[in-house]
A = this chain, B = another copy of it.
Amino acid sequence: MKDKPWLVDQITVIGPGLMGGSIAKACMERALSKRLVIGAREDELALLKKSGLNAAFYNDFGLSVKGSDLVVLCVPLEALKPILLVIKDFIGPETIVTDVTSVKREVISLFSEILTEKVQWIGSHPMAGSEKSGFESSTSRLFEGSITILTPGSHVGSQALDIVKTFWEKLGSKTITLSAEEHDGLVSEISHLPHLLSAVLMTTVSLRSLTVAGPGFRDITRIASGCPHLWKSILLANRHSVYEAGKKFILDLEEALKILQIGDEKALLELLNKAHIRRKGLDKK
């Protein structure tokens, strides 16, 4: 690896949406591979060819992964299975396959079932993104300052894991390695439940109050403008963890409402102080 200027010879990115487009742009800018291949749907090819990406474009996913050292699947959860079924016969035991979806138990079981242990597969979840979607919103800087959670198969060698780690680090992301179960539990709290809260808040307020919404309300509901289909799949795939996190949230909210009801100034200040300090802590990262 050290005598080459690039991380691997060939990287294939399948699905040039916000995530895939951003990864492809970053791979090109940072020269992560000698050759970059994009697998895309027929209707996406015209836009890609005009994008200035220095890559080969295929709408045949099988051909797009042939000879690749690293395949990054950037498609929604429900599109993963058919693509895995197509590409499995075009990749060898040395190929590393990863994805970018927000749930990992389900992905890991698909990888395990379809790719089996003959392929090096590692789940990736970059905690980056935007409420926007599509290649037109993609940017090579999307992952800068982010954290990517890796969930490698238990059979995966340390060299493959190192390549995936280095891949994300070169894109500007720190990495941590977790089991798929740990991952799904943590993100239910920090990403999936917050999305549901934001959506429920957006629908629970009266239309009249929306006419006076200020910047705070815009911030708290920004994620509710994310793609409904994408989030439906994410929430359903991780629904047991989100349900548990939601129940815990309701208990804590009921406690806070009780504090308000009895006008307990001290307890309310404690809650707000704790939230304030924790949130300030996030800004320092």
Contact = CB atoms under 8 A, between A and B. Distances in A.
Interface stretch (A116-124, A154-162, A163-171, A188-196): A188-196
Given A127-B214, A189-B206, A249-B204, A221 B279 contact: yes
Given A189-B209, A195-B216, A228 B272 contact: yes
A275 B235 contact: no
What copy number does this chain have within its complex? 2
Contact of A231 (B196, B224, B239, B272): B272
Q: Is the interface of A mostly helix, strand, loop or mixed?
A: helix
Contact of A200 (B147, B219, B253): B253
A265 B280 CA distance: 37
Contact of A214 (B129, B209, B271, B273): B129
B252 A250 contact: no
Nearest to A250: B250
11 contacts: A190-B209, A191-B214, A194-B221, A202-B278, A203-B271, A216-B226, A219-B220, A221-B275, A239-B263, A242-B260, A243-B257
